[in-house]
Structure 1
Amino acid sequence: MNPAEVDAYLRRLGVEHPAWPTVDVLRELHLRHLETIPFENLSIHLGEEIVLEEKRLLDKLVGARRGGFCYELNGTFGALLTTLGYDVTVLAARVYGDEGRLGIPHDHLALKVRTVDGGAWLADVGFGAHSHYPLAFEARAEQLDPGGVFRIVEAGPDAAGVRGGSAAATDLDVERDGKPQYRLEMRPRVLGDFVAGAWWHSTSSASHFVRSLVCSRVTEDGGRITLSGRKFTVTAADGAREVAELGSDAEVLAVYRERFGIELAAVPEVRSPSRGG
């Protein structure tokens, strides 16, 4: 990522170029990312190719002012943090689904980030509703966050995945409000390792990204707004929710434009998967 691309990315986030890669700067970057760059899967339903290459992701997230899902959001955020001087390790995870079953390998991408003022942090701006700030990676006690109560714990041997197998000795489970969210593997990865996972999530009839539309971001008051198809949900910081069903295409496009900063020529519609599953 060259200096011009870094400057454009930081302008997208609305932050100044940091002097040092500290934990306070990481916290600010993490929150601003969640507030400005939506978690969305619109490309899948607009027929747009998802390419896990830094330049293509920058063109989408920064140039086109779009969002993305975990591979795109955390992959690009990790590249930014590395350029700013952070020590970043890309990690793979498997997401907990129904009945506590784990999803496919390389189901999710998260970041382990070390700062110059000490400590390692779990940074994740690509999981939808999750922590607003990075989590202390080596802490095993509860961590309070505007997004909930989180814990990072050693994975037990009893949670076999969808395709069998047990937890490795170094695997960690990330919990939110007492419920496991995903299982982290400690082996360092690179962005290219997630191409198959991105393809599966973009094409398989078993993928919830293929079966539904979502566009969501954290709001400046600590709440969240989410557009799922034509259902627009505003969630306040205290958990109170208001739901509106949007009628016309013009209303839907206006919400994408005015609340998420996304300019679209047509309303996305759920596309039937053509392969995979």
Structure 2
Amino acid sequence: MDATQVDSYLHRIGAMRTERPTVEALRELQLRHLRTVPFENLSIHLGEDIALEEQALHDKIVRARRGGFCYEVNGLFAALLTALGFEVQLLQARVYGSEALGIPYDHLALRVTTADSTGPWLVDVGFGAHSHYPLDLTARGDQADPGGTFRIAEAPYGDLDVFKDGEPEFRLDLRPRALADFAAGCWWHRTSPESNFTRSLVCSRLTSEGRVTLSGRKLVTTVSGNRHERELATDPEVLAAYREHFAITLDHCPEPALFPPPAPAASGGGGMPDGGCG
């Protein structure tokens, strides 16, 4: 990522270029990203290609001012952090369903090392309703965050389990990966009738007061812990909601692919705000 791309990315999320890659800078970048770039799977239902390549992701997320799911937003955020001097490794994870873990390469998360001898940190801007700030990968007790109480625990074979409010979210494999390694998982989530992403439509963003989510035609806003739901009856209402809440302009409404409704035990996919994590 060159200097021009870095500057345009920082402008997209309303952040300044960091002087040093410190944990304070990392916290600020993660929060600004979560409040600006939506977690969304619209491309699947708009018939758009999803290319796990840096230039394609920059064109979509920065130039076109869209969002994406874990492989896209965490993949590009890793490139930004690397360009700013952070040491970043891509990690694969399997998301917990109600009965079992999801597929390998179900989720992409980041291990980030800063220049101030803290961490390493678990950074994730692609798991929907997750932590607002980086989590300490070395800590084994509770970690308080505005998004909940998180805990990282040892798991078999050297993996780590990540919990939120006492419930397991995903199992993290600590071996470094390349972005291309996630192509098969991305393809599965784009095409499989068993994927939550092919059977449901979501666009969600953290706000300063809570969260806003457009799930199909249901608009869900959470303000200071109070949840409000409203069904949008017409296409113009849906398109206006995308513009107002996510700054996304579409010429027609995306519609979920014609697959059966999601099963309760369906797994994976990097989190689905207001629709269950995998």
TM-score by length of 2: 0.92
2:199 maps to amino acid = R
1:201 aligns with 2:201: no
Find the residue that maps to 1:235 and give its secondary structure.
Answer: strand
Say if 2:213 is the partner of 1:226.
yes
SS of match in other structure, 2:35: helix
Task: Map 1:208-247; keep pairs closer than 5 Å.
Answer: 208-221=196-209, 223-237=210-224, 239-247=225-233
Q: Tell me, yes or no, if structure 1 residue 264 matches structure 2 residue 264.
A: no
Name the counterpart of 2:68. 68
Is 1:178 the equivalent of 2:166?
A: yes
Report how far residue 256 of structure 1 moved: 0.2
Where does residue 3 of structure 1 map in the other structure?
A: 3
**Counterpart code for 2:107:** H
Structure of higher RCO (CA pairs closer than 8 Å, 6+ residues apart) = 2
**Cα distance in 2 for residues equivalent to 1:24 and 1:147:** 18
How much does 1:138 deviate? 0.5
The Cα of 1:271 is off from its aligned counterpart by 1.5
Which runs of 5 or more structure 2 residues have no equivalent in the other structure?
260-278
- 1:104 alignment partner, SS class: coil
1:17 deviates by 0.9
How far apart in 1 are the matches of 2:64 and 2:241?
17
Give the aligned length: 259
- C-alpha deviation, 1:118, in angstroms: 1.3
Q: Separation in 2 of the partners of 1:87 and 1:31? A: 19
Q: Which runs of 4+ in 1 moved over 2 A?
A: none
Q: Take 1:34 and 1:15, find their aligned partners in 2: how far apart are those partners?
A: 12
Q: Could you report, residue by residue, the CA deviation over 1:43-98 in whole angstroms, capped at 9, with x for unpaired residues?
A: 00000011000000000000100000000010000010000000101100000002
C-alpha separation in 2, matches of 1:117 and 1:236: 35
Counterpart residue identity of residue 87, structure 1? E
What one-letter code is carried by the residue in structure 1 that aligns with 2:146? P
Q: Which residue is 1:27 aligned to?
A: 27
Pick the aligned partner of 2:180 from 192, 213, 231. Answer: 192
Cα deviation for residue 149 of structure 1 reads 0.3
Letter of the 2:95 partner, please give it: V
Whole-Å separation in 2 of the counterparts to 1:182 and 1:37: 22
Matches within 5 A, 1:124-163: 124-155=124-155
Q: Normalising by the residue count of structure 1, what TM-score does the alignment of the two structures yield?
A: 0.92
Letter in 2 for 1:214: V
